[in-house]
Structure formats: C-alpha cells, structure tokens
C-alpha cells in the first residue's frame, strides 16, 4: 500500500509539473507579445465591480477587442483546464493584433454583486462596452466570443445596440434564447412546455452558496491579485449519482435532496412557460431588436438546435437595420454541445460515426473579426457561405444561402397500423400515401413512475444521467409504452435537410399528459440511431399563455415543436419514428394529474391513444432535398 501511495504521489507531482510547465510556456509567449493586467475591477453603473483580466498587444496602435464574459472560473493561478484555455485564447487573439478581455459575471468568483442565471442585468454588458471602448489602447470596436454560458448573454445585449459592439460569435447559445416564434424555450428551461432537467444538475455544480466567503467590497486590485494566488473561490461539491438522484420527487426539491444550493432553482421551477419573469432578465425575445452582425455556431446534438436556427432566421428577416440583416452567418456541426473543435477524421457522436467533420473554425472566426473589427476588407464574404451545414450519413459539409436550403420539398409520412404499433415488433408503418392509412389507433399505458429512459439526444450538463449523441434505440423500442412506426426499406436513399413538422392526434383518460416523438435512421442490420427528438405538454397545445385540459373521449390535434437535421438516409435504410409520453430524464415527467407537476410526488397512470385515420391523419413531414 505504501508503494501505491508513492506511485500516486509521483504521478501527481509529474502531472502538476507538466501543467505548470505548459502554463509557464503560454504565459511566456503572451509576455513576449503583450501585457496582462489581472483583477481589473470594472465599474458598473450601480457601483458593482466586475473582475476582469485584460490582455493587450505590445503596440503603439489602437486595437480592437475580443470580449468574453463568463460565469466560469478563469483565475490564472493554480491548475485547471479552463484557466489554461483562457491563456490560449488570449494568445491567439494577441498574435493577431487584438486585445483579449475576459470578465466574470456579477456575483461570480471575484466579481461583486449577486449572481442570478438568466437574470444578470443587461446594463452590465452595455457598461462593459462603454468602459473598454474608452481605454487608450482601444480602437472602439468590440467583438464578443464564447460558447454556452459564455455566449448566452450576447443576444439580449445585442438588442441594446451599443455603438462599439461591432460583431459577435455566439456558440451553443441556446440558454440565452427566450421566446422566438413558436418556441418558448426560456433559456433552455422548457421545450414544448416541459421542463428540461439540465439546469438542476448544472446549477448543483456551478452555483455559489449565498453564504460563500466574500472579498470585502472595495478591495484593491493589488489585494485581489495577491488573494487570488491563494484562494480560488471555486465551489467543489460532493459528487452526485445523478442517474439515480434525478428521479426524486417532488421536482421542486431536486437540489434540496442532494444538499445543493437551491435558491435559483426554487424560484425558476415554479415559473410557467409564459411567466412574465422570463421577460425581465437577460434572455433575448423576438419582440426585441437586434443590432449586431453575427457568426452563429450550432450543433446537431445540442440542447436547443432548432430554436437556435430559428433565431438566426429571425434576425436575418426582422432586424430594422439592413446592414445587420445582411451580416448574419451560420455553421451547423454534427457535434455535441460546444464540441465544434473536437471533430476528427472519424468523428463519433455518441455511438455513430459521422466521418471527417473537421472545419477551419478558428480561421473563419478571425477572418470574420478582421472584417468587422479592423475595418479591413478581406475575402471572408467571398469564401464563406451564408450557411454551412454538415450532412450526416453522406458525411460532408454543404452550404446554402438560406435555411432550409431552397431545394427542399416537404414530404408527409402518415402513421398507420392494424392497432398494435407497440414496440419495434409491432405493426406500425409510415406511408406517404394518405389512402393507405388504416383507420385505426394505437394505445399504451404511460406510468410516470416507470418512464421511457432517455438514450442520447441533444443534451448538456447532466452528469451520468444522460449521454448526448446518437445511440442505438432498439432497447427503448422493446418497451410496450413506445409506439414504433417504420417505413418500407428505401430503394433509393435521400437527404432530409431542414425543419421537421409533426402533428399527432391523441385522446386520453387523464386531463393532461405529454407526447414525445423521435426521428430514427434504421440501418440494414437493425441499428436505430436517433436523429432528433422533441416533446409537447398537451395542456399547452393551444398556446403557452393558457392551459387547456383534455376531456375523456375527445380527440385532440397536437402540433409538436419543430425538429431539425441534415441526414442522408441511405439506400436499404428505413425511416422510423417513436412516439410515447416520456423521455426521462432529459425532460421532466408529466405526472398526468393536471396539477402543477413540480410540487407533486405521486403520478397516475394514463392510457394514451394515438389516432391515425383519414379524419385524424397523424403525421410527420420531412424536408427532402430534391435531386
């Protein structure tokens, strides 16, 4: 045992030494070409100061700024992957003639004030732009850059149209999208009126306790730099087996049950999809203007792929400034959340290989910033398509001037069966011929205490509860509470690229339930890879501003929120959809009571019936690329 401790100690020393050496190397490179000023406490209009690190090139010229504001820890001292990445990003900016500024949101680490996810004042971004643009080394042009929570704040601040906010590169930005068209995402909190549970697990890992140690207000920069060498202020929570703990009911006690910091979660879990509090914080909504040229980055297996693409279209079509409309660009990669640069010669997303999905992301980003921030004409617009998207299956990058591409045609596939579509062994069919629909229905029992288990998909931040990506769905399809509808074997392959619509007719013996749908690519050997999925709470079928409950014996049409993809279904493959009433724990369970759901501990079993007939033509419509 003593030898084992010695080996582990030696490994720790070697790893630490290697990390320190890499930190020293990148800092040495930074010091050769620039200067670093740490813990600059940037003042906001209400007196709160935000901790900021500033990297400036050694130059007599005024330079543009690349700005990242984040809730994550970038303290330069000690170890940690995020800190090393910050230095690397700064170095890449410096060597290209940019200043790089990274700042913690209010209430995070060394920044003063109180943190509230999705509720940070928009004025913080505006005030930061004003402060930076007035510095002696600034040329007055600022571009914002970041992924996930480092991107989510950018959209709403872009609506303020600060004169220095000249360009942005938001990546994996769904948590900043509130309401756009038919989507009431409210920062990834909802999909189709159903809570996405990622925020429970994410908040457990990142939220600082209200009783956290605090630096005294007004501490000097000198003191803060010294203190930051010894105190990281980063919480380190006990590990949680989320695969088990996420099952806890009532949902409002999810974090309380694991000893988590629950103040923000407690407040948000009680909000309905159109609660007015969603419109008071830092989310972007489609009644706001948008004033910044943008280069958007989206992933096929992310939390909010379709709403993110919908936002790109909304900005292109609705900004009051034609210059802004004309300067919107989009990349859609076949990766997980913020996984753009992780593509390889053989990119595996979940279990599915999607081929060589690499792209020169960094080169394109800096060409974009060079054009927008340096007022220097280059060939960005000549070389960069309006929309770059990766088609899975054929495994290639493609481009289009609009989304969806103009050469697509919506083709409707109708559900049909002899009344027993339950499981992959049932008789559920997909047909493009409406006359071949069998006037029938399929029923299943949905028990909230035994929900259909999530298997892959567009997820983020859920620990061991759910893995993201494409996985074989055959195990899920063996459940009796999953209806499976499959096309004939494809004699010729075809590409599906664009938004996917689905309309399902349902009746039930309960007041409220959910409908889930999943699009599947079935390989000749039976492997069934999930392409995209969505959900709809039936009480919100007529809009999110009201709840309309079902009555036993009545049939209701439910239009689910759109899905999207670019996938080539090859010859000898099949198209399949799964329908059920749960996809847990990606989405919260509907307890079927018609109650508030979040404060309930017991559910009731629902008998749900999906109708397909000439009167009730349940269907899914796919955007097929015309040859």
Give the side-chain half-sphere CA count within 13 A for 82. 14
CA 582 to chain centre: 20
Residue 88 to residue 103: CA distance in whole angstroms: 16
Q: Taking 50 as the threshold, does the pLDDT of residue 382 lie above it?
A: yes
Q: Which two tokens stand for residue 583?
A: 């996809």
Residue 602 to residue 606: CA distance in whole angstroms: 13
pLDDT tens by residue, 180-209:
999 999 999 999 999 999 999 999 999 988
Cα distances from 583 to residues 10, 192, 200, 353, 486, in angstroms, run 45, 13, 16, 24, 20
Nearest alpha-carbon partner for 66 in 91, 83, 47? 91
- Least confident residue range of 44-48, 158-162, 318-322, 372-376: 372-376
Is the distance from CB of 332 to CB of 173 less than 8 angstroms?
no
Residue 53 to residue 481: CA distance in whole angstroms: 54
List the Cα angle 166/169/174 in 5-degree steps.
Answer: 125
**What is the reported pLDDT for 15?**
38
Is the distance from CB of 359 to CB of 344 less than 8 angstroms?
no
**What is the reported pLDDT for 18?**
44
Kind and range of the H or E element at 315?
A: helix 305-318
| Tally of residues, the chain | 627
Q: What share of the chain has pLDDT > 70, as a percent?
A: 95
Please state the rounded mean pLDDT for residues 74-88: 71
Residue 479 to residue 471: CA distance in whole angstroms: 16
Q: First-to-last CA distance in the chain?
A: 67
Q: What is the pTM of this model?
A: 0.94
* Those residues with Cβ within 8 angstroms of residue 359's Cβ, 6 or more apart along the chain or in another chain: 331, 333, 340, 343, 388, 397
Residue 135 to residue 95: CA distance in whole angstroms: 20
Q: Which two tokens stand for residue 45?
A: 């209009």
User: What is the four-CA torsion angle of 156, 157, 160, 161, rounded to 10 degrees?
Assistant: -120
List the Cα angle 231/152/265 in 5-degree steps.
Answer: 70
Is the distance from CB of 519 to CB of 563 less than 8 angstroms?
yes
Q: Which two tokens stand for residue 40?
A: 């600059």
Please state the rounded mean pLDDT for residues 73-77: 78
Strand pairing category for 190-191 and 429-431 = unpaired
Sketch the domain layout of the chain as residue ranges: 2-186+273-400, 408-625
Nearest alpha-carbon partner for 245 in 463, 510, 425, 76? 463
Q: Taking 90 as the threshold, does the pLDDT of residue 8 lie above it?
A: no
Tell me the average pLDDT of the chain: 93
Please state the rounded mean pLDDT for residues 338-360: 96
Q: Taking 90 as the threshold, does the pLDDT of residue 211 lie above it?
A: no
**What is the reported pLDDT for 77?**
63
Superfamily of domain 408-625: Galactose-binding domain-like (2.60.120.260)
Is the distance from CB of 350 to CB of 335 less than 8 angstroms?
no
Question: Taken in order 93, 98, 104, 110, is the CA torsion positive or negative?
Answer: positive
Residue 234 to residue 224: CA distance in whole angstroms: 15
Superfamily of domain 2-186+273-400: Alpha/Beta hydrolase fold, catalytic domain (3.40.50.1820)
* SS3 readout for 378-431: CCHHHHCCCEEEEEECCCEEEEECCCCCCCEEEEEEEEECCCCCECCCCCCEEE
Residue 71 to residue 90: CA distance in whole angstroms: 18
The per-residue DSSP string of 355-367 comes to ------HHHHHHH
Residue 411 to residue 502: CA distance in whole angstroms: 11
Question: Which residue is associated with the tokens 């053989």?
Answer: 346
């Amino acid at each position: 045992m003593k030898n084992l401790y010695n080996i582990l100690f030696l490994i720790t020393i070697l790893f630490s030494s290697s990390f320190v050496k890499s930190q020293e190397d990148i800092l040495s490179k930074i010091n050769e070409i620039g200067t670093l000023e740490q813990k600059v406490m940037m003042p906001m209009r209400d007196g709160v100061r935000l901790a900021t690190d500033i990297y400036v090139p050694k130059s007599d010229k005024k330079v543009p700024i690349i700005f990242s504001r984040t809730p994550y820890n970038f303290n330069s001292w000690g170890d940690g992957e995020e800190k090393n990445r910050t230095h690397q990003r700064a170095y890449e900016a410096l060597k290209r003639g940019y200043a790089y500024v990274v700042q913690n949101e209010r209430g995070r680490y060394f920044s003063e004030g109180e943190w509230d996810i999705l509720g940070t004042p928009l004025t913080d971004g505006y005030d930061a732009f004003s402060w930076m643009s007035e510095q002696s080394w600034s040329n007055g042009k600022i571009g914002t850059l970041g992924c996930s929570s480092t991107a989510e704040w950018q959209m709403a601040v872009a609506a303020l149209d600060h004169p220095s906010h000249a360009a942005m590169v938001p990546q994996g930005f769904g948590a900043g999208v509130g309401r756009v068209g038919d989507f009431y995402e409210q920062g990834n909190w909802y999909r189709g009126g159903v809570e996405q549970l990622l925020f429970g697990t994410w908040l457990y890992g990142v939220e600082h306790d209200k009783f956290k140690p605090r630096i005294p207000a007004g501490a000097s920069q000198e003191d803060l730099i010294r203190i930051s060498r010894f105190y990281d202020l980063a919480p380190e929570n006990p590990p949680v087996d989320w695969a088990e703990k996420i099952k806890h009911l009532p949902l409002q006690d999810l974090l309380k049950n694991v000893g988590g910091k629950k103040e923000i979660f407690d407040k948000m879990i009680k909000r309905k999809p159109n609660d007015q509090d969603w419109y008071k914080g830092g989310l972007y909504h489609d009644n706001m203007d948008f004033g910044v040229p943008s280069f958007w980055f989206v992933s096929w297996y992310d939390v909010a792929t379709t709403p993110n693409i919908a936002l790109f279209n909304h900005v292109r079509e609705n900004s009051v400034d034609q210059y802004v409309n004309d300067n919107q660009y989009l990349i859609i990669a076949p990766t997980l959340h913020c996984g753009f640069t992780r593509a390889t010669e053989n990119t595996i997303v979940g279990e599915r290989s999607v081929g060589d999905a690499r792209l020169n992301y960094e080169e394109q980003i800096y060409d974009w910033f060079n054009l927008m921030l340096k007022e220097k004409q280059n060939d960005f617009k000549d070389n960069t398509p309006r929309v770059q998207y990766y088609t899975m299956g054929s495994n290639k990058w493609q481009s289009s001037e609009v989304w969806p591409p103009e050469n697509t045609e919506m083709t409707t596939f109708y559900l049909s069966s002899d009344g027993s579509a339950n499981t992959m062994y049932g008789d559920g069919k997909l047909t493009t011929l409406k006359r071949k629909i069998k006037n029938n229905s399929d029923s299943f029992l949905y028990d909230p205490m035994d929900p259909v288990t999530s298997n892959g998909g567009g997820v983020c931040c859920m620990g061991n509860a759910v893995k993201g990506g494409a996985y074989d769905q055959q195990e899920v399809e063996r459940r009796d509470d999953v209806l499976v509808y499959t096309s004939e074997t494809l004699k010729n392959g075809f590409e599906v690229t664009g938004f996917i619509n689905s309309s399902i007719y349902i009746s039930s013996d309960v007041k409220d339930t959910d409908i889930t749908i999943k699009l599947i690519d079935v390989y000749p050997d039976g492997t069934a890879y999930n392409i995209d999925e969505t959900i709809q709470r039936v009480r919100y079928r007529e809009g999110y501003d009201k709840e309309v409950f079902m009555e036993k014996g009545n049939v209701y049409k439910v239009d689910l929120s759109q899905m999207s993809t670019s996938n080539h279904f090859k010859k000898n493959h099949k198209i399949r959809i799964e329908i059920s009433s749960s996809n847990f724990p990606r989405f919260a369970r509907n307890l079927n009571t018609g109650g508030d759901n979040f404060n309930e501990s017991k559910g009731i079993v629902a008998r749900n019936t999906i109708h397909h007939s000439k009167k009730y033509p349940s269907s899914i419509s796919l955007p097929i690329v015309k040859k």
